[in-house]
Amino acid sequence: MKILLLAFILWTPCTYANPIFMPGDGTDFRRYVAQARDYIRTKRVKSTDDAIQIGLAIGYIEAVAILLETEKSICVPQIALSSRNWVDIIYSYLEKTPKSDREFGAVLVSDALREVFPCLK
């Protein structure tokens, strides 16, 4: 069931939003996260395509977070995190991580969240 959910998360944005949103491309994913961060801070969007990209980026980040938390791969404190919190976490991670065009959005989100919310053993 977990593999099916992960496959759906990774496949759905590519299928329905392509070519606007391609989470498999690291460079594009970084740009979409930056756009989401800018929107959350300014509440301004340049175009309909940007609005779609922003919404998909935020939803994608939150979907991967839910999956990781369900699998107990991350341990998020029992506080409510807003979309802004999730985007800031990912944006900060991307800023300090070297760029690679061979990155996948889910891997970037997963790595960032595992770093910030490790499960103590």
pTM of the model: 0.77
73-114 per-position pLDDT tens digit = 999 988 878 999 999 999 999 999 887 666 788 888 999 999
Domains of the chain with CATH codes:
2-116 (1.10.890)
Name the residue with tokens 């690291």. Answer: 26
